Structure 1
Amino acid sequence: MKKIIILCLSITFGFISDQNLSVEAYNKLSEAEKRDPSHAIDGLDLLDPELEITLFASEPMMSNPTNMDIDDKGRIWICEAYNYRNALNPRNPYNKKGDRILILEDTDHDGKADKSTVFYQGEDINAALGIAVLGNKVYVSCSPNVLVFTDENQDDVPDSKEVMFTGIGGIQHDHGMHAFVFGPDGKLYFNYGNEGKGLLTRNKEPLKDELGNIIKGDGKPYREGMVYRSELDGSNVEILAWNFRNNYELTLDSYGTMWQSDNDDDGNRSTRINYVMPHGNYGYKDEMTGADWRVRRTNLEDSVYQQHWHLNDPGVVPNLLQTYAGSPTGIVLYEGNLLPQMYRNQIIHCDAGPNIVRAYPAQKSGAGYKAEILPIVDGSKKDKWFRPSDVTVAPDGSIYISDWYDPGVGGHAMGDSLRGRVFRIAPKNHRPTVPNFIYSDPSEAIVALQNPNQAVRFKAFMALKSLGKAAENNLKELAKNQNPRMAARAYWLLAQIDNKYITEASNSKNEDVRIQAIRMASELIKNPHAFYLKMSNDASIQVKREIAVEIRHKKYSDVWLKLAEAYDGGDRWYLEALGIGADLDWDNCLKLLKENNESNWLKTDKTKDLVWRSRGLKTKVLLAEIIKNSPESQKGKYYRAFDFQDNTDKNDILLGLIKNAKSTEEKVTIFKHFDQATIHGNPTFNKELPLLMAGIKSELDFLEIVDKYSIKSQYSRLHKLAMTNSNSNISTSAATICVKNHGTLGLETELKNKTNAKKAIDVYGEVDKANVTAILIKTFTNKKLSHSLREQAIEEMIGWESEETLWKLTQAGKIPNEFLPIVENILKQTWHSDIRVAASKYFVNGEEEQKINTTNVLSQSGNLSSGKQLFETYCTTCHVANNKGTDFGPGLSQIGKKLSKEGLLNAIINPSEGISFGYEGQNITLFDGSMYQGILTSKTENDFMIKYPGQSKVNIVKRKDVKQILAMEESIMPKFPLKEQELADLVGYLETLK
């Protein structure tokens, strides 16, 4: 579908505006010329002939804008991040005065900033990620705090500063607190990424939801990135959605519908756009356990992006749109009239990774939505330093784009600290204008309320709200507006004057206004049961969806039943809304559903889907009944649903299914779902387990069961898998489990067999355990053995413990001379940063390594054939590109699309400056004294999920075995000993990965 959409767009907009240079002409510019603001527009392609893009501001007036807002005077407010990540990257410059909030102004209205004012500067706003200017208050998001500046006399100097929220994770982190936006209901909406963790009040007290649960990302019940709503003073905080990875910014339309983007685990082409259904779980981590999406599970999705967001799991809201590779940033819902029709009432969004600003025209689809991709500004063909960080609407309806302007993006790296731009997009020859409103005049405030700019709307809303009944007639007139979005803005205020306007809105011919009526009733009617019951007769499935999510925890099971009867068994959006509505009331809802569907109970898609989604006390019994009567191809879906139920009686119910299981594969599935903590003493389990093992055909299933239950009777098959399976992940997993359960028996046995000795060293050498390392040392130091076997053994001394041991042997002079070149190569690339530095000096007699002249490297085009070979030698041990390599670090299939040439080079020679979030190294110490280094992909109540260097496999380590986990200060990626020409070759090849 995406290819079709892009093809259509290329027919309509497939030319480059004549306002800037062609690709060929631009590429002839020198690097210095490309970076100069005079060529800022030349580096961009504006893809709509009706529009023009102009440079509003650039360095030296400003630099490194992370976020912006536009006030009602048309002035641009910028959060700068000159001091971004300096604590982790000391090579970055630092201003001891701290970062700045700037006000950029176009005093002569020629479309270019000619005045810059520093509103505030301080170290407490270093690398702030969000700013919202609402009246005389400026909300600045800078983890661990949300600061509110008040400018009482409007002289652009803050008169006070206070903390509204604190305790937020992600200090100077892209996944921390993001910008606040003003909702049409008069409340604040905001979000943070999955480093945010939780919120504390200004008094450092934890915030709780309406059930008394502390709001934090510990899985009780919330996880990862979250969306919130509060009053303007930060009171009455509500959590609206959760389980995102890095939902950078939020936007709302006039009806109160929420939208945002979300970033994937870097390199997995799973970036997404979401319609934010209230109270929805968005599936980044396993809802119940918190496990990483890579952990194998029943009913696993077919594609990476579906797996990434757990889209087959009950309780996960679908995605609106996949945008594949990217680093999404600012977003806005454009409700102005200045831009062409195709952009009106649509999402406009920045994606800094692929250097692009897009619109996403959305249409309703059942109870949800579908969307297309419409590019607006593209820098990928020319200026790959274009990193759009935010998009905002001015009072005249034009849009402004802030540009971080840097060779790289994401991973906390910054290649340039001095540059930054702001662009303006408007119809050709449209001169900027700023309307001037007298907000105290109801008629002028009504006009201002219809403005597309947030700051203007805020002042109008607050003025009309304070006028109350005096503004009622003016608002009633606006409610008749032919544009339903303007009518919606009036109704939000009218409903606060009198609840009768909720009823009036509920009778609107426009379904979005009726949806808004549901939202208003939830906020303003003390007991909306009768209203919801009446509205459940509405013909619109979207209205029904909204009722479903708003009855959550109200236990209106009769309303829920009416809504459930409208479910046809095919609309996942609606199913999830019904699931949200029945939360904590499933037993009553299922009882009514059964009574109403007695003749078709558990026979239709509708009733089976609702049971699959349910979390009632009887759900497990109902799931078992469905499984008994389902074809083999559908059973996995219902077995997976067992993972979302409590463990009471689960083992007994699953054991009851064994006698009806029609295949070994189904029995394996049952064994995967037992509660491991309580099953071992069950006689039926102990009888069935050995029978099961004999019939398992799938290697992955076999390994999973053996590992889960620590089965000691399967040595022969484990060893055979290790030695003969062509899939390296399977053979390594088998060897690891074999060593875990049987020590070095397999390796020692094969070393006595000359035919298999090298193969055994190759396979078991992957297991970085002390007992294996001891045998490798014994082998390569034994001069009686063949040179090739000894060489094989020393080449396998790769791993956290092995490399540490190898370094000690080297210092002690116990490495045979003929193997020193191999040892040198291993230690110069070791994961131990301290050993890497020491070894580099040791092997060059204390002399420092040759320093790299980056200018020389960047000036060379590079040999692609040589670069590919270098890539396969150094990079594929930890990265996947085009389906080849090891899935340990971020995927690199499209790295040439994300990073500029400068960014690629910096990532290689300074890996600690660009660590992608989620790929930070950890030093792991077990109670048995073992030490490892790896990536902590996720953690559950009982386990840590860890990937060790050079391995795709996610290893499960019991929490009870872990003594300590400490974050590494440097990247887990080593600095490779490459010369300038080799670097040029490698960078040249990486540029082709698109």
Structure 2
Amino acid sequence: MLKKLSDKTKLGLPMALLGGSLLFSAYHHSSKSIWVNRYIDSLMTEEQKHLPSNALKGLKIADGLEVSTFATEPMLLNPTDIEVDARGRVWVLEAYNYRPAITGNPTRPEGDRIVILEDSNNDGKADVSKVFYQGPELNAPLGIAVLGNTVIVSQSPYVWKFTDTDGDDKADKKEILFQGMEGEQHDHGMHAFVFGPDGKLYFNFGNEGKQLRDAKGNIVRDQDGDEISRKKYKQGMVFRCNPDGTGVECLGQNFRNNYEVAVDSYGTLWQSDNDDDGNKGVRINYVMENGNYGYTDEITGAGWTANRTNIESEISKQHWHQNDPGSIPNLLQTGSGSPTGIIVYEGNLLPKIYQGQMIHCEPGHNVVRSYPVQKSGAGYTASIENLVKNEQDQWFRPSDVCVAPDGSLFVADWYDPGVGGHQAGDQTRGRIYRIAPSKTPYTVPKQDFTTIAGAISALQSPNIAIRYLAYNKLVSDNSAEGELVKLYNSAENPRMKARAFWVLSKGANGKKYVESALADQNPDIRITAIRAARELKLDVIPYLKNLVKDADPQVRRECAIALRHSKSPEAPALWAELAAQHTGNDRWYLEALGIGADNNWDSYFNAYLQKVANPVESPAGRDIVWRSRTNESVKFLATLATDSKVDLKDRLRYFRAFDFVKGTKKSEALLEMLKHNSSEQKEINTLALRHLDAEFVKTNPVAKSALLKLMASTEGKEYLELEGKYLLPEENKRLFNMIITDKSPREASDILIKNLGGTALLTHAISEPGKEQNALKILSSMRWSGSKTQLDILQAAMFNKANSANIRREATRALGGSSNGEDLILKYLKEGKIEKSLIPSAVDGVSKAWRRQVRTEAARYLGGSTNAAAKKLAPISDLIKLSGDAKNGAVMFANNCSVCHQVNGEGMDFGPKLSEIGSKLPKEGQYLAILHPDAGIGFGYEGWDLKMKDGSTLSGIIASKTETDIILKMPGGITQNLKTSAVKSMKQMQNSMMPSGLADGMSQKELVDLVEFLTTLKKK
């Protein structure tokens, strides 16, 4: 066989054979398939590997299933989202015009397209392609829902509603459903709409959305009458509304990029959420209604990297504030990734393990997964099962998944060396795959929506578009009630029973059916009934009286949520009954209690105390005290926080809980702690002071005395955190000594500058005779900060000819260490104001500037050719063919990249962590990121220029921003704490903070070695 294959190679035949994958097909099921495939792989060029005819090569499908291509390029390009309509056709959103300002890719001036793909001859392949709509305003839309003759398309800052009025598969009418979301052409903007079993629409946006406006531009108000904006809500959100866009409710908040929402037949919501790249914190969430999901601090809005008491030990949990009271637990954390489309599969064609479960696209790891869920107390647990994964071709980027009328799955493949993230390496490709049991042809069951019987049958379809038409027929026809009752009473699948119930609940006798379902033996039906009662705005109190002692904790969870914002005088006692049943080991149940008590904590907690007089005696009671938001819980918090019989580490949660309680009682309780006298008093004082307001401490004699005593006994990072918070001028001398003894000099310098008298102290020391070493250390400590005061000090030292040459050189070098300082260096070089002897120091000072033009322009003043190091690299298409030395690449990374990136904890924490970048990007993507960093700036890693009120400019990444404080990260992993009130304006940079000339200092071989090393960094 090897001889025959070799002979064909000589004849040039394998190129044709590989193009049609004939060899692969012939030996796919043979015992020799493995080595034949490997042999074929060795013959293929990179371009041949990406041919549509080889699309199935490398796809590993789960046992019992089969994957086939439904459509490939050129029939479609860059699919971001798909929908399968009631006729079995696949609707595709294309994103050819994705982020051209960043990628530099060409665009179609006529705009992106909505394409309908149809298999007209029933061979399982699309053979008809229609353009439903194309327009210049359609730019990389991210979500589509096909609801009868209406098509809803999500594309921030708009949600478009297209209508086909005459049935010719062309949009005849275009309207705005919502608008005002920020993030045009942004992956973190508005995502797809989904039709729910209750007849409502569900949708979400990521943390770039920020607000929601209606078709007229008015800010939309939520179920409480509050604006849907950052005034009330944080980060990404999930919503529900009526089909016409009215009645909007915010169902959850504080996600990062919750890409889509999936709704099951009981009305339960599921989502994925993307972490800040490189932190292995990607998660799957059960969306508990009205929950806070912890991406930023619930109270202050601070980012997850901000230090806090009882901070989680694992970064993946820090990322979502999992130790904070009020943060809903994550169902599943999946590590790294770039999650996209998600559904709940409620068909029966696929194997049982997938039935009733989430199906999810994870393009970062080239896989489509399922997450089998099991109930656990008031919440759930989940695991991971792969459906299809490409283990050979990292261009496989599944972006969305949908259920077809026959119960098979359709998967959209963005097919690109990257995964969005504002970059696209290829605009010419895109695929649609079908997943079904082996040897199962694609069929589209005929539907009859004109009869009640036909609509009843259609209501049970696994396809959402069919269920939409069935629901609307049944809910509008009073004669359907009898048949719906039959389905409700006879359905073996409780999900079908729930679907019938939702329609019945919307009818004239809806209340009757709600009350009947509340008594159903199946707890999922009882849960559905509670949700329906709330949607119908029925008085739920009489119902909850019968359910607050339900044996099922998930039913009690829904009872707690139903009590949210209740004004009934009976509500406190009902909540107390629910709280008394908390076991102390069910975080889901505890958070449901917290959601239910919102705005009513005083009355609810007091009612609880009537049932449980001393809650600190049991784990359950201690949980409820920790979660409470009322002054009545403060004395119990104080007792728990100071209980020396319990290890202090286990009491940190109670100190953290003080941050979530408002009022004077909190200050009084923390102040009282400072008066204690125990073996751990230093630790207690530190914690108490940390949770007291800074101004309160400085003006209260007891607190001020405790603070000074504490600071005298602390040092290092702990000392700097305290002094940075309180800014006591009494500490100026100590800060000065830290600078000249090299003990955190930069941090000490930053704080000293802010203190009264600090600037004068430093200025005097720089010019003090006989103290040159002190002066050099002071100047060096100011290099990276860039505040106006520090820049003024550096300039004065540089130009003062009375200073020694060493002092002037160090001042010149230090001046170029910040963005504002770089500009000053260039200005003075152009004006000839920097003496010749100082020019090398000036150029050296800006040699690490992230802006390439700063480095190159400054270098001109050294003399010689500025292009001496210039070299010509091979195109990326040729570079990817080269093999490098990963060991040498690791050295190149340490020398060139570790100043801003971490790998497995080594390096500086500035840019995205790269520990698993090899799993996310193939070589094409790696080269693109290095050579053209502006083509893909990771969200959350955009650079910002901050103009300060003192006239200075600071540049970096905003790690955290609250109403009062900003944490700015700068290259080298340096952070600077700023007061928001000191910032005049903020402007996002158009370019990446990653130097565009990173490869300038490398040979081509060194660059290839670096990429070889990066491709080895994969998920283990």
Q: Structure 2-normalised TM-score?
A: 0.90
Question: Aligned letter for 1:237?
Answer: V
Contact in 1 for aligned 2:484/2:504 (Cα 8 Å): no
Instruction: For residue 260 of structure 1, give the secondary structure of its aligned residue in structure 2.
Output: strand
1:752-805 deviations in Å (ceiling 9; x for gaps): 567777766655534434665677675799899798995897378422133223
Question: Aligned letter for 1:905?
Answer: Y
1:692 paired residue among 686, 692, 710: 710
Question: Aligned letter for 1:710?
Answer: L
2:352 paired residue among 332, 341, 348: 341
1:952-979 deviations in Å (ceiling 9; x for gaps): 43x3311221111111111122112244
Aligned to 1:5: none
Within a 5 Å distance, the mapping from 1:869-948 to structure 2 comes to: 869-948=891-970
Contact in 2 for aligned 1:137/1:148 (Cα 8 Å): yes
1:591 paired residue among 597, 606, 612: 606
Instruction: For residue 133 of structure 1, give the secondary structure of its aligned residue in structure 2.
Output: strand
1:810 aligns with 2:829: yes
Residue 514 of structure 1 and its aligned partner are, at CA, apart by 1.5
1:650 aligns with 2:666: yes
Within a 5 Å distance, the mapping from 1:962-973 to structure 2 comes to: 962-973=983-994
- Structure 1: how far apart are the matches of 2:547 and 2:803? 87
Instruction: For residue 989 of structure 1, give the secondary structure of its aligned residue in structure 2.
Output: helix
Aligned to 1:118: 131
Aligned to 2:498: 488
1:444 aligns with 2:454: yes
1:671 paired residue among 689, 706, 730: 689
Aligned to 1:361: 372
Within a 5 Å distance, the mapping from 1:308-457 to structure 2 comes to: 308-379=319-390, 381-457=391-467
Instruction: For residue 285 of structure 1, give the secondary structure of its aligned residue in structure 2.
Output: coil
Residue 54 of structure 1 and its aligned partner are, at CA, apart by 1.0
Instruction: For residue 690 of structure 1, give the secondary structure of its aligned residue in structure 2.
Output: helix
Instruction: For residue 98 of structure 2, give the secondary structure of its aligned residue in structure 1.
Output: coil
1:502 aligns with 2:514: yes
Residue 470 of structure 1 and its aligned partner are, at CA, apart by 3.0
Contact in 1 for aligned 2:102/2:936 (Cα 8 Å): no
Contact in 1 for aligned 2:113/2:135 (Cα 8 Å): yes
- Structure 2: how far apart are the matches of 1:787 and 1:862? 43
Q: Structure 1 residues 312 and 27 mapped into 2: Cα distance closer, same or farther (>3 Å)?
A: farther
Query: Which range moves more in the overlay, 940-949 or 180-189?
Result: 940-949
Within a 5 Å distance, the mapping from 1:484-633 to structure 2 comes to: 484-497=494-507, 498=509, 499-524=511-536, 526-555=538-567, 556-598=571-613, 600-629=614-643, 631=646, 632-633=648-649
Aligned to 1:168: 181
Residue 568 of structure 1 and its aligned partner are, at CA, apart by 1.1
Aligned to 1:9: none
1:921-958 deviations in Å (ceiling 9; x for gaps): 111111111111111233212222321222243x3311
Question: Aligned letter for 1:552?
Answer: R
Instruction: For residue 140 of structure 1, give the secondary structure of its aligned residue in structure 2.
Output: strand
Residue 239 of structure 1 and its aligned partner are, at CA, apart by 0.5
Q: Percent identity?
A: 44
- Structure 1: how far apart are the matches of 2:411 and 2:489? 32
- Structure 1: how far apart are the matches of 2:190 and 2:995? 31
Q: Structure 1 residues 186 and 621 mapped into 2: Cα distance closer, same or farther (>3 Å)?
A: same
Q: Structure 1 residues 745 and 269 mapped into 2: Cα distance closer, same or farther (>3 Å)?
A: farther
Aligned to 2:92: 78
Q: Structure 1 residues 291 and 850 mapped into 2: Cα distance closer, same or farther (>3 Å)?
A: same
1:156 aligns with 2:169: yes
Aligned to 2:26: none
Q: Structure 1 residues 562 and 736 mapped into 2: Cα distance closer, same or farther (>3 Å)?
A: same
Instruction: For residue 924 of structure 1, give the secondary structure of its aligned residue in structure 2.
Output: strand
Question: Aligned letter for 2:874?
Answer: N
1:687-744 deviations in Å (ceiling 9; x for gaps): 32212211225x3221111011112222454345556678xxx554234323443333
Within a 5 Å distance, the mapping from 1:733-882 to structure 2 comes to: 733-741=747-755, 742-743=758-759, 744=762, 748=766, 763-769=781-787, 778=797, 794=813, 797-813=816-832, 827=846, 829-832=848-851, 834-836=853-855, 838-839=857-858, 845=865, 850=871, 852-854=873-875, 855-882=877-904
Question: Aligned letter for 2:520?
Answer: S
- Structure 1: how far apart are the matches of 2:426 and 2:712? 61
Contact in 2 for aligned 1:396/1:434 (Cα 8 Å): yes
Aligned to 1:705: 722
- Structure 2: how far apart are the matches of 1:564 and 1:207? 34
- Structure 1: how far apart are the matches of 2:623 and 2:585? 9
- Structure 1: how far apart are the matches of 2:99 and 2:656? 41
- Structure 1: how far apart are the matches of 2:448 and 2:67? 31
Q: Structure 1 residues 798 and 26 mapped into 2: Cα distance closer, same or farther (>3 Å)?
A: farther
- Structure 2: how far apart are the matches of 1:659 and 1:462? 68
Question: Aligned letter for 2:582?
Answer: Y
- Structure 1: how far apart are the matches of 2:278 and 2:549? 46
Question: Aligned letter for 1:685?
Answer: A
- Structure 2: how far apart are the matches of 1:908 and 1:687? 54
Aligned to 1:637: 653
1:336-378 deviations in Å (ceiling 9; x for gaps): 1111111111111111112111111111111100111112222
Contact in 1 for aligned 2:188/2:209 (Cα 8 Å): yes
- Structure 1: how far apart are the matches of 2:667 and 2:31? 64
Aligned to 1:982: 1006
Residue 187 of structure 1 and its aligned partner are, at CA, apart by 0.5
1:283 aligns with 2:294: yes
Question: Any gaps of 5 or more consecutive residues in structure 2?
Answer: 1-29
- Structure 1: how far apart are the matches of 2:860 and 2:921? 32
Q: Structure 1 residues 106 and 588 mapped into 2: Cα distance closer, same or farther (>3 Å)?
A: same
Residue 862 of structure 1 and its aligned partner are, at CA, apart by 2.3
Contact in 1 for aligned 2:794/2:814 (Cα 8 Å): no
Q: Structure 1 residues 376 and 472 mapped into 2: Cα distance closer, same or farther (>3 Å)?
A: same
Instruction: For residue 471 of structure 2, give the secondary structure of its aligned residue in structure 1.
Output: helix
- Structure 2: how far apart are the matches of 1:797 and 1:515? 63
Residue 828 of structure 1 and its aligned partner are, at CA, apart by 6.1
Contact in 2 for aligned 1:68/1:390 (Cα 8 Å): yes
Query: Which range moves more in the overlay, 500-509 or 97-106?
Result: 500-509
- Structure 2: how far apart are the matches of 1:52 and 1:74? 19
1:132 aligns with 2:145: yes
Within a 5 Å distance, the mapping from 1:8-27 to structure 2 comes to: 22=37, 25-26=40-41
- Structure 2: how far apart are the matches of 1:840 and 1:491? 74
Instruction: For residue 896 of structure 2, give the secondary structure of its aligned residue in structure 1.
Output: helix
Instruction: For residue 391 of structure 1, give the secondary structure of its aligned residue in structure 2.
Output: strand
Q: Structure 1 residues 480 and 717 mapped into 2: Cα distance closer, same or farther (>3 Å)?
A: farther
Residue 311 of structure 1 and its aligned partner are, at CA, apart by 0.8
1:69 paired residue among 55, 76, 83: 83
- Structure 2: how far apart are the matches of 1:398 and 1:144? 33
Aligned to 2:18: none
Instruction: For residue 493 of structure 1, give the secondary structure of its aligned residue in structure 2.
Output: helix
Residue 25 of structure 1 and its aligned partner are, at CA, apart by 4.6
1:204 aligns with 2:226: no
- Structure 1: how far apart are the matches of 2:384 and 2:124? 28
Q: Structure 1 residues 984 and 623 mapped into 2: Cα distance closer, same or farther (>3 Å)?
A: same
Contact in 1 for aligned 2:252/2:290 (Cα 8 Å): yes
Residue 479 of structure 1 and its aligned partner are, at CA, apart by 3.6
Aligned to 1:144: 157
Contact in 2 for aligned 1:20/1:42 (Cα 8 Å): no
Q: Structure 1-normalised TM-score?
A: 0.92
Query: Which range moves more in the overlay, 136-145 or 459-468?
Result: 459-468
- Structure 1: how far apart are the matches of 2:666 and 2:981? 24
Question: Aligned letter for 1:660?
Answer: H
Residue 870 of structure 1 and its aligned partner are, at CA, apart by 2.1
Question: Aligned letter for 1:202?
Answer: A
Contact in 1 for aligned 2:815/2:845 (Cα 8 Å): no
Question: Aligned letter for 2:168?
Answer: D
Residue 570 of structure 1 and its aligned partner are, at CA, apart by 1.3
Query: Which range moves more in the overlay, 867-876 or 459-468?
Result: 867-876
